[in-house]
Amino acid sequence: MNTDAGEGRATESSSEPQAASTEDSRLLALCRQGDQQAWADLVDRYSSYVYAIAVRGFRLDEHAAEDLFQDVFARTYERLGQLQDSGSLRAWIGQLTRRLAIDQLRARRIQIGLQEIPEPEAVEDAIGDIESAIYVRETLDRLPGPFKEILDRFFVRGESYRKIAAALDVPPGTIASRISRGLEKLRILLEEEEF
């Protein structure tokens, strides 16, 4: 996807999930009308993405990451009307976050004499990992309820078969088979999206 965060222009990539694109379009339309709940939902939707880029991609400390978070969403709010393709909101926010993080690192380097800014390849690799994790998570959310819950509990929360079985009141063997079937369903969905 080609973006220019400074100008608010972006072009849609066919690999972006349609559901996320539709939801982004809906939120942006409501935000442009002044809907404060839609703005809160948009910030909530992208807050972990921005924070992950700051911390994992650019290795910012908590304070610097919070400053970056504030800058990104302040500028996003100011430029809501400039974004021409609402389906590319994630890429636009990601590019804006990268640009502001680099500006922040340069300013800090000048202030305290640092010479090191993370290598662009390392940052892009980390951001690619973040985007992949978000994409897998969004795809996981599209699974039928029992599979989604069990895969979430096992892989995201790190719960054991026993703990999941007790919480759902099913035998541990059922948990194992549902994990296996759920992973197969997840694989099929990811292949359909050409992930």
pTM: 0.55
Q: What is the pLDDT of residue 70?
A: 92
Counted domains in the chain? 2
Domain co-membership, 56 together with 146: no
Q: What is the pLDDT of residue 109?
A: 65
Among the candidates 120, 141, 162, a domain finishes at: 141
Lowest mean per-residue pLDDT among 2-11, 55-64, 72-81, 137-146: 2-11
Domain co-membership, 106 together with 195: no
149-170 pLDDT per residue, tens = 888 888 778 888 888 889 989 8
What burial letters (b/e) apply to 57-95, b meaning 16+ CB within 10 Å?
bbbbeeebbeebbebbbebbeeebeebebbbbbbbbbbb
Domain co-membership, 172 together with 136: no
DSSP structure class, residue 142: T
Mean pLDDT: which of 15-19, 21-25, 36-40, 154-158 is highest?
A: 36-40
Q: What is the pLDDT of residue 42?
A: 92
Contacts within 8 Å (CB) and 24+ apart, 124-133:
126/53, 126/56, 126/57, 127/53, 127/57, 127/94, 127/98, 129/56, 130/49, 130/52, 130/53, 130/56, 130/57, 131/49, 131/90, 131/94, 132/195
Average pLDDT, the chain: 79
Among the candidates 141, 160, 185, a domain finishes at: 141
Mean pLDDT of 12-32: 70
Lowest mean per-residue pLDDT among 6-10, 108-112, 191-195: 6-10
Domain co-membership, 148 together with 126: no
Domain co-membership, 94 together with 106: yes
Domain co-membership, 174 together with 189: yes
| Domain hosting residue 165, numbered range | 142-195
DSSP structure class, residue 171: -
The secondary element (H helix, E strand) that includes residue 15 is none
| 78 strand-pairing partners | none
Domain co-membership, 27 together with 77: yes
174-185 pLDDT per residue, tens = 888 888 888 888
Domain co-membership, 27 together with 113: yes
58-106 pLDDT per residue, tens = 888 888 889 999 999 999 999 888 887 767 888 899 889 989 998 888 8
Among the candidates 141, 159, 178, a domain finishes at: 141
Neighbours of 51 (CB within 10 A): 19
Q: Please report, for the domain that includes residue 100, its CATH number.
A: 1.10.1740.10
Domain co-membership, 132 together with 164: no
The answer to whether residue 47 scores a pLDDT higher than 70 is: yes
